[in-house]
Amino acid sequence: MRDQNDKMEKMKRLSHISSDGRAQMVDVSAKPVSKRRAVATGKIRLQRETLDLIRKDQIAKGNVFATARIAGIQAAKQTANLIPLCHVLPLGEVKIDIVTSNKGAQVKCAAQTVGQTGVEMEALVGVTAALLTIYDMCKAVDRQMQIYDVCLIEKTKRPVAVVYDRQSRKPQRS
């Protein structure tokens, strides 16, 4: 009985699980609008020869990092289509940064919106898609690549000021 009570208590805390245990989309309509930002990172291990080919723009499929940046941005914008219970968000900015080292590359995705729910899934999807794109574009020359350490490193929420237009008497965000 205690185990069942513990499970029920845990399910109460999982906002995507209804009281009868079914998956549900969380209702965020009553939440205040705020500025949301999330940053995720991940790494890909590449052979030195592969890194040299990327630097010299000699990968047959094209410019690896430019393509990975575009893929990450596009994927972040499609998060709600990929992750079933995510809300559709108007992303104000998605930025993909790629830094190389002797062992491979680190990708960072920063996503930002003004809304009622966070953008951590968008940042995670963006970084993962960018990493997968690097993998796809280099798989013909590097069979030892590894994607690892994908994680959320930052999540912030800041209130948005509301300014009233005296003529129309309608609230406007600033």
The active-site residue, picked from 6, 97, 136, 165, is 136
136 is catalytic: yes
The CA distance from 116 to 25, in Å, is: 13
Q: Is 46 exposed, middle or buried (0-12, 13-18, 19+ CB in 10 A)?
A: buried
The amino acid that residue 159 corresponds to is: P
C-alpha–C-alpha distance, residues 171 and 99, integer Å:
42
Evaluate whether 26 touches 14 at the Cβ level (below 8 Å): no
Q: Helix, strand, coil shares of the chain as percentages rounded to 5? A: 35, 35, 35
Calpha distance 164→70 (Å, rounded) = 38
Catalytic residue positions, numbered: 136
